[in-house]
Structure 1
Amino acid sequence: MDIVLYALTVLLYGGLAVAGWRAHRDLAPAAALAGMPSGAQLSERMSRASGGSGIGRALLGVALVVHGVLLHTTIFPQNAMVFGFAFALSAMFWLGAGIYWIESFFFPLDGLRLLVLPLACVASIMPLIFGGVRVLPYAAAPMFKLHFVIANIAYGLFAIAALHAVLMLMVEKRLQNMRGVARHASNGWLSSWLDTLPPLLTLEKLLFRLIGAGFVLLTLTLLSGVAFNEQLVDRAFKLDHKTVFAILSWLMFGALLTARRVSGWRGRAALRWVLASFAALLLAYVGSRFVFEVLLHRAVV
């Protein structure tokens, strides 16, 4: 049954990604020749060419349901819990794709879809490749389940925020390169792809909305982790690599939000800070498990 879910998930994500990139490849040259004034129009045409925005969203909704069922059946088999860095990445990009899906109802984000869906497709198949996972005997504990759900939602929010930051850096660099240069001089697949994105201010608004929500959930993750650890081993605080990187990431995101509110911090420096903060979180959440499970062949608690 699991292999069928794996195949269906990859087929749906991969098919939508291929359809989106084909539509982009076919429409970008025509848009450049026609002198299309806005990326929103190109994004709309891409949606229609790749199956229609309504059909595309419906298929992505089906893909998210299938991927969610797959994660549940593989992570929670028979009242136990199996987990590892590959499962962590799969869950992170499942939530990231879900957040994109919700955002797409309010903003033209077909350019972001071209990036999110291939990543979600690759991440969904990784648990089949990397089987070095661990079984958690305390998976049935209500406090742990609460901690696990909150943590994964927080990491999914930060994952999609990091993708937003990458795209914003690319857009800013392109705008700088275009100063004093005619628009047609920057034509190409990358330029036309960036044209499908919303305006930079819209991306910035989405970015800090995601970071704000993720920071609240990361705070709850740390608090629920302390409560769960106290319930499990009668010790409220365990200073290990995972805790250190998680707290460091929390401090960095908190500093970013504070600077944003106090001084309106924005631009490349803020975007690079977002990526550095996410890198610290990734080391806590995925990196430590990868090192222990794949490189050291040890389970982590």
Structure 2
Amino acid sequence: MQTYFFILAALLYLGCVFLPANNRKTIAVVVAIAWLLHGGSLWADVIGPGELRVGFSMMLSATLWVSVAAYWLENRNYTLDGLRVLVLPIAAVTVILPLLFPGNMVPLDGKSPVFLWHIVISILAYSTLTIAAFHAVLMVLQESHLHGKSYSRQHNQGAKASWLAATLNRLPALLTMEKLLFRLIAFGFFLLTLTVLSGVVFSEELFGKAFKWDHKTIFTMLSWALFGLLLAGRKWQGWRGRTALSFTLIGFAVLLLAYVGSRFVLEVILHRVIA
């Protein structure tokens, strides 16, 4: 039954991509239904009696589940329909990933409560910075579109606006988008800091040392440093525009490599079962 729910959620996500933008209520309702199916199926699949399923597919699926919620809430306050065509197709793919790559079950007996909190906080951090990355991509497209419109006006090329152009035209002003982006980054950085700190406690209890210098730790700390530098540059140097977008996308790419990338290599390529 869970398999059918996963597939149904994926189909609903994809269906929403092709709905006209003016059907906002229909889109909101269908996305909410897909999100509930996604979350319920994920919960039933991940949480077992005294054990927890872990793996790169679970992390990606949970991350996009929270990201869809962030899109849904943002779109109610601002006209950010462009996020729909970026977030929902990827969410549809990540919904069915656990069916293809189930990961492995980790017993919770003897594990510290910090372990669960560490996982929850890390998923929230991943999700917040994922939606920030989508936001940054949207801003890159918006900026390119604005320059393109300026060029077209100068050369009297008044061609009919494409679907993408119409979507980008409905976005808030770039300054508003930038403010939203930095709010997301600041919150994501706070959550990422909590992830690092809870990881230190968990590592101390499990391995007897604060840091276990593996790929996950190195990439996480590098991503944390990049986002921290971006926020500091914004505050004291007024960084914005392309600089801010580049830092956001590079920081997110590094963070993606921290857990999802390393787990993918270990599970899928090297076929190693790890906790």
TM-score by length of 1: 0.85
CA contact (8 A) 1:83 1:134 kept: yes
1:47 — aligned with what? 22
Deviations 1:63-119 (A, max 9, x none): 222211111111112221111111111111111111111111210112211221111
> Where does structure 1 lack aligned partners over 5 or more consecutive residues?
24-45
Alpha-carbon distance, 1:179 to partner: 2.5
Alpha-carbon distance, 1:230 to partner: 1.5
2:88 — aligned with what? 117
Instruction: Give the residue type in structure 2 aligned to 1:135.
Output: M
Query: What is the rounded CA distance, in whole Å, between the counterparts of 2:140 and 2:10 in structure 1?
Result: 29
Deviations 1:141-174 (A, max 9, x none): 4111111110000100000100111111111122
1:104 — aligned with what? 75
Query: What is the rounded CA distance, in whole Å, between the counterparts of 1:104 and 1:169 in structure 2?
Result: 19
Deviating beyond 3 angstroms after TM superposition, the runs of 4 or more aligned structure 1 residues are 138-141
Alignment CA distance shift 1:202-1:288 (3 Å): same
Alignment match of 2:47 (pick from 49, 65, 76): 76
Query: What is the rounded CA distance, in whole Å, between the counterparts of 1:173 and 1:110 in structure 2?
Result: 17
CA contact (8 A) 2:71 2:131 kept: yes
Aligned pair 1:285/2:255, yes or no? no
CA contact (8 A) 1:2 1:70 kept: yes
Query: What is the rounded CA distance, in whole Å, between the counterparts of 2:44 and 2:194 in structure 1?
Result: 26
Alpha-carbon distance, 1:186 to partner: 7.1
Deviations 1:156-202 (A, max 9, x none): 00001001111111111222233242272473233223223222122
Query: What is the rounded CA distance, in whole Å, between the counterparts of 2:227 and 2:235 in structure 1?
Result: 12
Q: Where do residues 1-301 of structure 1 align in structure 2 (5 Å cutoff)?
A: 1-19=1-19, 23=20, 46-48=21-23, 53-131=24-102, 133-138=103-108, 141-182=112-153, 184-185=158-159, 187-301=161-275
Alpha-carbon distance, 1:245 to partner: 0.2
Aligned partner of residue 136 in structure 1, secondary structure: strand
How many corresponding residue pairs?
271
Query: What is the rounded CA distance, in whole Å, between the counterparts of 2:61 and 2:196 in structure 1?
Result: 21
> Where does structure 2 lack aligned partners over 5 or more consecutive residues?
none
Instruction: Give the residue type in structure 1 aligned to 2:6.
Output: Y
Deviations 1:208-230 (A, max 9, x none): 11000000000000000111122
Instruction: Give the residue type in structure 1 aligned to 2:84.
Output: R
Deviations 1:255-288 (A, max 9, x none): 0000001121001122011100001100002100
Query: What is the rounded CA distance, in whole Å, between the counterparts of 2:271 and 2:89 in structure 1?
Result: 28
Aligned partner of residue 81 in structure 1, secondary structure: strand
Instruction: Give the residue type in structure 1 aligned to 2:83.
Output: L
Query: What is the rounded CA distance, in whole Å, between the counterparts of 1:257 and 1:190 in structure 2?
Result: 30
Query: What is the rounded CA distance, in whole Å, between the counterparts of 2:261 and 2:180 in structure 1?
Result: 27
CA contact (8 A) 2:129 2:252 kept: yes
Alpha-carbon distance, 1:250 to partner: 0.2
Alignment CA distance shift 1:215-1:117 (3 Å): same
CA RMSD of aligned residues (A): 1.7
Instruction: Give the residue type in structure 2 aligned to 1:237.
Output: F
Alignment CA distance shift 1:114-1:284 (3 Å): same
Query: What is the rounded CA distance, in whole Å, between the counterparts of 1:95 and 1:47 in structure 2?
Result: 24
Aligned partner of residue 253 in structure 1, secondary structure: helix
